[in-house]
């Protein structure tokens, strides 16, 4: 009896990527490698050679996509703030306008901490520290072309207005509370960065921040009711 012969099916070829897809992938690898390097060995040791080694992309190719190291750092900042804004907006869409005030505050702080506690923010924080030092020494930097503090406050304010349209604190009070909230979150992130691990009591401190916002909002509501 003759052995049965099986026809092997031709292997499916993966569709060829477009130039746009290849460019996006290369840029993503460079940014990811830079973030990884800053997180593991620090800003100063994240050199052109280190970025090339980790990304598997030649420095010439990296310069083609970003122009310089400052170009890569600027792209990381932009990506980080886009992630921050998108995360807050996504959280807002999930919770909805009809949620209780306590639920909205919890969602807001949790979504913000998801950003501040991330590796992207740690890289962002180190880049901004270096940029601040460069500003003091008046050295030229492409990072000076944009106010990143302004960018984060714009994203913050957009979601704040959507999550808390029923809270009338007044413009100056809102700005103060926003700055306070950012200070607490960035402070916790800094402690986590210095410790090299999750900061102790971080959940308790986040809960305290939520209670602080709830108290401020209740005072605002009471003030509105008293004045009417």
Distance (Å, whole) CA 38 – CA 50: 10
Assess if residue 2 is contained within a domain. no
What is the tally of structural domains in the chain?
2
Please indicate, yes or no, whether residues 38 and 125 belong to a single structural domain of this protein. Answer: no
Please indicate, yes or no, whether residues 182 and 159 belong to a single structural domain of this protein. Answer: yes
Assess if residue 98 is contained within a domain. yes
Q: What is the pLDDT of residue 8?
A: 54
Tokens of 210: 């939520």
Assess if residue 13 is contained within a domain. no
Distance (Å, whole) CA 176 – CA 143: 26
Please indicate, yes or no, whether residues 188 and 82 belong to a single structural domain of this protein. Answer: yes
pTM for this model (two decimals): 0.72
Please indicate, yes or no, whether residues 44 and 117 belong to a single structural domain of this protein. Answer: no
Angstrom CA distances, 130 to 43, 122, 135, stand at 8, 13, 9
Where do the H-state alpha helices sit in 42-139? 48-55, 59-66, 69-95, 101-116, 119-136
Number of H helices, E strands in the chain: 9, 0
pLDDT means per 10 residues, the chain with 228 residues, are 51 71 91 91 92 95 92 87 82 79 90 87 83 65 54 74 83 87 89 72 93 89 54
Please indicate, yes or no, whether residues 105 and 57 belong to a single structural domain of this protein. Answer: no
Assess if residue 10 is contained within a domain. no
Angstrom CA distances, 188 to 62, 85, 123, 151, 191, stand at 33, 19, 15, 21, 5
Please indicate, yes or no, whether residues 55 and 153 belong to a single structural domain of this protein. Answer: no
Residue where a domain terminates, one of 46, 67, 88: 67
Assess if residue 34 is contained within a domain. yes
Assess if residue 223 is contained within a domain. yes
Please indicate, yes or no, whether residues 58 and 34 belong to a single structural domain of this protein. Answer: yes
Please indicate, yes or no, whether residues 165 and 212 belong to a single structural domain of this protein. Answer: yes
Cα 68–Cα 72–Cα 78 angle in degrees, nearest 5: 140
Please indicate, yes or no, whether residues 59 and 164 belong to a single structural domain of this protein. Answer: no
> Of 113, 120, 121, nearest to 206 (Cα)?
113
> Of 139, 114, 141, 138, nearest to 127 (Cα)?
141
Residue 80, domain extent? 70-227
Helix (H, G, I), strand (E, B) or coil at 67: coil
Q: What is the pLDDT of residue 28?
A: 93
Q: What is the pLDDT of residue 56?
A: 94
Please indicate, yes or no, whether residues 54 and 137 belong to a single structural domain of this protein. Answer: no
Please indicate, yes or no, whether residues 164 and 139 belong to a single structural domain of this protein. Answer: yes
Which CATH number goes with the domain that contains 39? 1.10.10.60
Please indicate, yes or no, whether residues 127 and 145 belong to a single structural domain of this protein. Answer: yes
Q: What is the pLDDT of residue 148?
A: 60
Q: Interhelix angle for 69-95 vs 148-163, to 10°?
A: 10
Which CATH number goes with the domain that contains 80? 1.10.357
């Amino acid at each position: 009896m003759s052995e049965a012969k099986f026809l092997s099916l031709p292997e499916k070829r993966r569709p060829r990527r477009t130039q746009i897809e290849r460019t996006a992938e290369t840029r993503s690898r460079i940014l990811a490698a830079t973030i990884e390097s800053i997180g593991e060995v620090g800003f100063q040791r994240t050199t052109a050679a280190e970025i090339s080694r980790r990304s598997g992309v030649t420095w010439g190719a990296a310069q083609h996509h970003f122009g310089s190291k400052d170009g890569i750092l600027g792209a990381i900042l932009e990506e980080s703030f886009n992630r921050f804004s998108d995360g807050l907006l996504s959280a807002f869409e999930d919770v909805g306008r009809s949620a209780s005030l306590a639920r909205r505050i919890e969602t807001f702080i949790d979504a913000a901490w998801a950003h501040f506690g991330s590796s992207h923010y740690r890289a962002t924080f180190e880049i901004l520290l270096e940029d601040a030092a460069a500003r003091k020494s008046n050295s030229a930097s492409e990072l000076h072309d944009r106010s990143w503090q302004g960018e984060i406050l714009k994203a913050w304010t957009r979601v704040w207005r959507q999550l808390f349209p029923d809270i009338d604190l007044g413009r100056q009070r809102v700005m103060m509370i926003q700055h306070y909230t950012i200070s607490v979150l960035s402070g916790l992130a800094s402690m986590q960065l210095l410790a090299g691990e999750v900061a102790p009591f971080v959940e308790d401190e986040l809960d305290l921040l939520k209670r602080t916002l709830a108290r401020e909002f209740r005072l605002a509501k009471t003030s509105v009711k008293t004045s009417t």
